Chain A
Amino acid sequence: MSRSVGRNVVRKDGTAKAVGTARYVDDLTFPGMLHARTIRSTIPRGRIVRMHRRFDAAGFTIVDARDIPGRNLVSLIQEDQPCLAEGEVRHAAEPLLLLAHEDRERLLQAQVEVEYAPAPALLDARESTHVFKEIRIARGDLDTGFREADLVVEGEYRTGHQEHLYIEPNGMIAVPEHGGVTVYGSLQCPYYVHRALCVLLDLPEDKVRVVQAETGGGFGGKEEYPSIIAGHASLLALKSGRPVKLIYDRTEDMIATTKRHPSTVRHRTGVMRDGRLAAMEIDVLFDGGAYCTLSPVVLSRGCLHATGPYRCDHVRVSGRVVMTNTPPNGAFRGFGAPQTLFAADVHMERIAEQLGMDPVRLRELNALRPGDSTATGQVLGADAAALDVLRAAVSRSGFHRKRRAYRGTGRGIGLSLFFHGAGFTGSGEVKLKSRASLELTPDGVRILVASTDIGQGQRTVHAQIVAEALGLPFEAVEVAAADTSIVPDSGPTVASRTTMVVGGLLKRCAEEMKARLGALTPRAYLRRHGPLVITKQYEPPPGLVWDDDTYQGSAYGSYGWACDVIEVERDPVTAGTRSPRRWSCATARWPTAS
């Protein structure tokens, strides 16, 4: 049988990208297309008194909240965020008014003056009493743990906003057609955009079509925000009756779109003299920004990773995410976990220092092993590879030798051991009920999923999985565009779920297709039996039980394990740092992309 998984294949979209023919949203044009622009608030909090138009409106399409045919909200978890501000402003760069014109120069020159009644802004998360979500995870008995401990180590760790910096800025084109709207855009989650547009525009599902254009990176930054841009472009398109292109420039993208949640994480840890962790008390605070967006889920993942990949019998994690008058924060690679993992692993270094212990030894002693259970009581299987990746990274990087050699020089070497839950948190996958389809073609098969290739190689990995399961060559597997008019809802392209969860569904589709084909070639099957499409829906693996109320059970179906080592060198002239070498040890299905 031909092997595809674990082998280096040529990525499906590699040639189009290297040759320059891959089409991103800004590369598309439609007849009669208008360009669009968003007028945004310049204050963090207040009331809009009046908006003065300081331009000749001839040829312009102008949209404000009153033009919204459906509900003025960005449909996600809480219904708190308007698509266009109405009366009240909750953060700087909040969208107020939309303009479109066929001449981009005139569009950019149009001036709108906004009169506000400003109010005092809340900018410090520690002072906020508006809580979007609170989470508590408890295991064992904290008091018992601290009583047993020989030493208590405390620390507070903070991280700030972080920008995704995908190289292609956000953008959408909305085309009014068939009594509804089709949007083409740079996005991760076609069905998020689809749902948001149905609510905003008051259109039935079959009148809204969302098509992913080639997407120049996402990193979480194109998970929920594209729903807003698609909404804005669609409102203008429906009002003008013409296609509307709304592309952010870099400045607007950085000012207005979501960022990683700033965090403050406090650790209080009871430790035995020999290095074993006896008690972990962890307090997590995330700054959610002005609206809820995905903050509850971000907090959830943050809290579930807050212990780091370490075992301890007595744990309490208390987390909350709060409102401030800053632009809303949202999805960003790792989704809350990098903040808490950073805190956990810096804290491990602090513990090692206080114990006078080798930090690798401390991690080896406490790393989660097969058979151990996490803070939520999830018993880990044989694939809990924390020790393996730690040892591999330490030995490949020459960690111990270098650590000794660099002492007292301007150089240093450090490591971070971490894990990452694959797929949606807790019962998320069960609620999503994702579907994937496989269609027989004369020369092989075509994959129909709403998963998007945003550079991570979804098309290629899915094709590898299907080719291997069917015993077909990799080249015989096509991947359809993520277009809601032809693909089922496979859930969003987030949470490291695309390969494992959607890939798993495709594997099941391929296995059934193989059985149906029997000894027939695809062409022969189609001739004899007609078209064949197989669709599978997510089913949780047996034994996976999760309780949303108590935060107990299997938080994730499976975990990835990794250890990064990095060398840092200080430049005595600039006082900056440089990282001449780094090592990363983990496991992979497609070596070229990892």
Chain B
Amino acid sequence: MTPAFRPIAFVLNGRRVAVRVHPLKRLLDVLREDCRLTGTKEGCGEGECGACTVIVDGKAVNSCLVPVAQAAGTRVTTIEGLHGRHRLQAAFAELGGAQCGICTPGMILAASTLGPKPTLDEVRTGLAGNICRCTGYEGIYRAIKAANKARGARREARGEGREARGTARARTAARRRRP
């Protein structure tokens, strides 16, 4: 007998969803199995590799470490939520940021939280929780740099100022720090 669970509601890629699952079910499994979004990958299941990275309320988190109950009332973005239109996605595809591709969705989501113009050191620190086994990271750094350059160029063309996202960057750095 499967016990009846109370619905857990959150906003997934801009849409409100409610799932009736065990509150301790991993957010990763809820996304992949109950929401049928398989772009989020499992690499280690213990928060080491970052393949399952999703964005919860603006922060990159390992969805394998989040019981779905903790996601109640939050805004969750997965790779599907970028709709293939994010500049990082094109840059990763074109510049060698993706090879076997299993780390790519998590890597792109983590990179999207790094602020408008991260330095190479900030990128390295910001992505320290995302392991890539194929690229040696050079292709990833190249893609992030190019994506940010394209973004800057577009903004200048539109005459917009650069918004400050220092806080997001500080949060990411704090999250990535290991004991």
Q: A residues within 8 Å of B by Cβ?
A: 10-11, 13-24, 26-27, 165-169, 214-219, 249-250, 454-457, 592-593
Q: Give the residues in chain B near A19, CB-CB below 8 Å.
A: 39, 79, 82, 84, 89
Among B88, B93, B100, point to the contact of A168 (Cβ < 8 A).
B100
The A-contacting residues of B in range 76-119, CB under 8 angstroms, are 78-80, 82, 84, 88-90, 92-105, 108
Q: How many residues of B contact A (CB 8 A)?
A: 41
Tell me whether A23 and B38 are in contact in the complex, defined as CB-CB below 8 angstroms, given that A167-B103, A455-B99 are known contacts. Answer: yes
Are A24 and B102 in touch, CB under 8 angstroms?
Answer: yes
**Once bound together, how far apart are the Cα atoms of A19 and B90, in whole Å?**
9
Total of A-B residue pairs, C-beta within 8 Å = 111
Among B88, B99, B105, B131, point to the contact of A20 (Cβ < 8 A).
B105
Q: Give the residues in chain A near B100, CB-CB below 8 Å.
A: 166-168, 215-218, 454-455
Are A217 and B80 in touch, CB under 8 angstroms?
Answer: no
Tell me whether A22 and B101 are in contact in the complex, defined as CB-CB below 8 angstroms, given that A165-B133, A167-B49, A250-B45 are known contacts. Answer: yes
Q: A11-B98, A167-B132, A250-B44 are in contact. List 15 more A-B contacts (CB 8 A).
A: A10-B93, A18-B90, A18-B105, A19-B79, A20-B38, A24-B38, A27-B32, A167-B51, A169-B43, A249-B45, A250-B45, A455-B101, A456-B99, A457-B99, A593-B139
Q: Give the residues in chain A near B133, CB-CB below 8 Å.
A: 165-167, 217, 219
CB proximity of B83 to chain A, nearest CB, Å: 8
B37, B38, B108 pick with most chain A CB within 10 angstroms: B38
Sorted from nearest, which 3 A-B pairs have the closest CB atoms? A20-B39, A455-B100, A216-B102
Are A217 and B93 in touch, CB under 8 angstroms?
Answer: no
**Once bound together, how far apart are the Cα atoms of A14 and B89, in whole Å?**
9
CB proximity of B70 to chain A, nearest CB, Å: 20
Is B134 positioned at the interface, with any CB of A under 8 Å from its CB? yes
Is B46 positioned at the interface, with any CB of A under 8 Å from its CB? yes
Tell me whether A26 and B42 are in contact in the complex, defined as CB-CB below 8 angstroms, given that A168-B100, A455-B101 are known contacts. Answer: yes
A11, A18, A19, A457 pick with most chain B CB within 10 angstroms: A18
Among B44, B45, B92, B131, point to the contact of A18 (Cβ < 8 A).
B92
Are A168 and B102 in touch, CB under 8 angstroms?
Answer: yes
Are B101 and A214 in touch, CB under 8 angstroms?
Answer: yes
Q: Give the residues in chain B near A455, CB-CB below 8 Å.
A: 99-101, 134
Tell me whether A15 and B102 are in contact in the complex, defined as CB-CB below 8 angstroms, given that A27-B38, A217-B134, A250-B46 are known contacts. Answer: no
**Once bound together, how far apart are the Cα atoms of A60 and B42, in whole Å?**
26
